[in-house]
Amino acid sequence: MEEQDSALRVVVGVDGSPSSHAALRWAVQHAELIGGDVVAVAAWELPGAHGWSAPAVDPVFDKTIAEQGLVNQLHQVLGESGAAQVRQRLMHGNPVEALLSEAEGAEALVVGSRGLGGFRRALLGSVSQQCALYATCPVVIVRPTVEVRGSGTQAE
């Protein structure tokens, strides 16, 4: 974890999913209310890093492209001025471990929920669930808003 300043921090996980976009918007609004800063964290991990096989090398991963992708994603979700107020962190490693590490001493950790249910969640694990269990700060799990057909309103 890099050295943190004394400002209130809201850490948010960003992975390109609609739920992470909703979490990013929520984190920015919360940070504005408390006078804090937002740190958007994206984590990357090489395939097979925790498997039984030899460590894999991902020939298509380019850190520079990934960093630019994170910046582009922030601009897409928050606009130019909103994205400029968010610090970005592209971290190598398990997403849960990266988020928990960055969230130490934070005001809150905000993550999206992809909404996987039952058996799939048991097999795959859940970043939001693991963060809620092990974070040392409050955790907010945000579900994406979806358009309700025919009503013109949004529901969560």
pTM score of the predicted model: 0.77
Residue 19's CB is within 10 A of a number of other CB atoms, namely 20
Three-class DSSP category at 29: helix
Q: Give the helix/strand (H/E) hosting 156.
A: none
Nearest to 36 by CA among 90, 108, 128: 108
d(CA 122, CA 142) in angstroms, rounded, equals 20
Length in residues, the chain: 156
CATH number for 9-155 (one of 3.40.50.2300, 3.40.50.620, 3.30.1490.190, 3.40.50.150): it is 3.40.50.620
What is the per-residue pLDDT across 70-101, written as a single tens digit (0 to 9) for each?
A: 898 899 999 988 888 899 999 988 999 999 99
Q: With 50 as the cut, is the pLDDT of residue 32 above it?
A: yes
d(CA 137, CA 142) in angstroms, rounded, equals 16
Query: Where on the phi/psi map is residue 121: left (φ > 0), alpha (ψ -120 to 50), or beta?
Result: alpha
Confidence of residue 126 (pLDDT cuts 50, 70, 90): confident
The residue written with tokens 């994205």 in the block is 83
pLDDT of residue 47: 59
